[in-house]
Structure formats: structure tokens, C-alpha cells
Amino acid sequence: MIEVDIQKRVGALELSVQFTAPSAGITALFGRSGAGKTTLVSALAGLIRPDRGRIAIDDDVLFSDAEGIDRRPERRRLGYVFQESRLFPHYTVRGNLGYGMRRGKPRDPALAFEAVVELLRLEPLLSRRPHDLSGGEKQRVAIGRALLADPRLLLMDEPLASLDLAHRAEILPFIEDLRDRLRIPIIYVSHAMEEVVRLADTLVLMSEGRVAAVGAVEDLTSRLDLRPLTGRFEAGAVIRASVAGSDLVFGLTELSFPGGRLRVPHLGLPLGTPIRARIRARDVALALERPRGLSILNVFAGRVVEIAADQGPMVDVRLDIGKPDRPVALWARITRRSTHDLQLEVGKPIHALVKSVALDRQSFSPYSRRGAAEE
């Protein structure tokens, strides 16, 4: 278990953070610029000293003002990946990787030099210097250097923020591999919700130096009251599903979840692969009866759970399209006029319509089978 309960004043920022997170998988720190995410990570790493509080990993105390404990950064066994790669320009890739290595064998064989090089596909780069690398290659080397320090916790402070879309797409699968193949918990800082949905198991929402909410990604993204923090325009529900079939004739994949089957563009994944599907509220339409003669392939019966008390022309409606014992949240964003015409109210039966073509590749991400087993 990762335990954080600290206070720290940095300029105008009053950081007061309390949360616990599993010492497995990825915990995302999400919030707008200035929310205190980087300050918090710096405190975890030992780069700044909290004014008071406690930090512990699996009952090993890293900082406690009450106990007089403040471990030096190099004694905390934490790996740190910054926004910029911060590689040594005069070293080769091999030299940069070697700089991070502990003396002696790593505790986990998966963190041996050869294993890390293979995991991050760094073999072709070992003799090159940083100025000969792309932005994505530099970040892969930076991640490798952090792993070779044999950390028990990996801190990643917006590692994709300085990369363009192409290089972000290059790095994301490697971070997924770290999550699924290694037994190292990751604290992942981001202000991009699409990264959080794709990667994280646990979400810590931060605002103005404080924690607004902590929980599973699926739970927090389904809450209407958290829209100001999770982002309204791209807001939507995250559904856990698994690959249940493929329609190669029409190029579709079927995803199974407790509310039925979601037909999406072909994903090319094996049967049974656990998947997170993000369905944006603006891509969901509503109908009082199951429609006929419609091009939309995905129609789910459900009921209205909550209607946002917004005063503008658009209204967000939260639905449950799951089974009685396994609720599945879905959002729909419709006009206030439609809310009136459909006479929507909490508890009313409804049908949700989702266009398959509205769901692009960025809407889906495999997640670890460990996560699937914990559902």
C-alpha cells in the first residue's frame, strides 16, 4: 500500500494531500496545471521536504516528521522519469542506462540490463548518443535508466507532455507493458484524460493542492459531480469489457460487458482480451423505445440514474445499462429540449444508442489480466 498524508507550502500553493493507493498497477495523479501534481511527486521522491506528514510504501516509512524520518532520495529506491528525458549528452545510450544501474544483481530478474533492453527495444540504440535519438527514443531510454535503478516504485511526471502525437503513440504501448509485465507500482502524472483512461487502475483527482477524489478510473469518470475536474468536453464513461468475437466480413470486433455486446471497428485482438472502452457522452443518443430500421449497431436498454442540474442548452444524463447486480454507467449528452421532449426523470427506462464509427482506436486499450481478475 502507498500511503501519503503530507502538507507543504510552495509559494502560493498550499499542498495538503491525503490518499492511499495499491502498491500495484498504475495510480494516476490528474488535474489542471498548478494543481500540485509535480510538487507531490517531488515530495515522494525526496526532492523537496514536506512541512509535516507521512509517506510510506508497504509500511516502510520514507518520511515522517513525527518520527524524525526523511530518507535521502538515493535511499528511497524510487525511479523517476521526468517530462524531459534528461539524458547525459556525452554518454551513449548504453552509458546512460549503465549510470542508473545498482551495484550487484537486481532484486527482480525482470530488471536486469538485458531484460530492460529487450522490454523497451533499445538494442539498436545502445551505441548512439542522445542527439541522434527521436523524442520517443529518448523517453524510452529515460524509462530504461529509471528501471535499472531497481526501484520499488516508479514515478512518471508527465512523460509524454513534450512529445508530439506520433511519439506519444509510440511510447504508450511500452508503458502498458511496464504495467502488465513488471511488478512495479507506478505513480503517473498527467493532465491528459485519454492517457489516464488507457493506462491507470487508480485515479487521484487533484485541485488547488488538494485531493478531490480517489478511486477506480471507471468509477470517477462516471460521476457527474466531478466533470469540472475530469473535463467536460471529452467527458464520458469507461466500460470494462472483453473481446467476445470478430466479424471479419464487415471488419468489426464484439466486446462483451454485463450490459450486452458493443460492436466496434476491428481491433485485431485475441478472444478474451480484457479491454477498457471509453464512450464519450456526446457520442450517445437516447430513445424511449428500441428503434427499428436504424444504421446504429449498438442499442442498450437501461434506465436514467442522474440528470445534471445544468442551466445551459446541453444536459448530461447518467444511465445504468448493466445488470441488476452489475451496474454499468454510461453518459449521454443531449439538448435541454430533448430532455424535455422525452420527459426524462430518474428511474425512467431508456435506450442508449452508440455509433460504432464514433469509437476510434484511441477509445480502446487492453488492461492487465490482474485487473480483470479483481473485477
Same domain, yes or no: 98 and 201: yes
**pLDDT tens track for 16-26:** 999 999 888 89
Instruction: Provide the number of structural domains found in the chain.
Output: 2
| 252 to 49, 201, 247, 278, 330: CA distances (angstroms) | 53, 27, 5, 17, 21
Residues 197 and 262 in one domain: no
Q: pLDDT below 70 — which residues of the chain?
A: 102-106, 232-234, 368-375
Nearest to 24 by CA among 4, 54, 1: 1
> Which residue range(s) make up the domain with 277?
236-373
Instruction: List b or e across 262-296, with b for residues whose CB sees 16 or more CB atoms inside 10 angstroms.
Output: bbbbebebeeebbbbbbbbbbbbbbeeeeeeeeee
137 and 164 share one domain = yes
Q: Provide the pLDDT for residue 375.
A: 40
- Are 216 and 247 part of one and the same domain? no
Q: Are 217 and 243 in the same domain? A: no
If asked whether residues 268 and 314 sit together in one domain, one would say yes
For residue 370, what pLDDT is reported?
A: 46
Say yes or no: 181 and 294 in one domain.
no
Task: Assess whether 210 and 246 both reside in one domain.
Answer: no
For 262-310, write each residue's pLDDT tens digit: 999 999 889 999 988 889 899 999 999 999 999 999 999 999 999 987 7
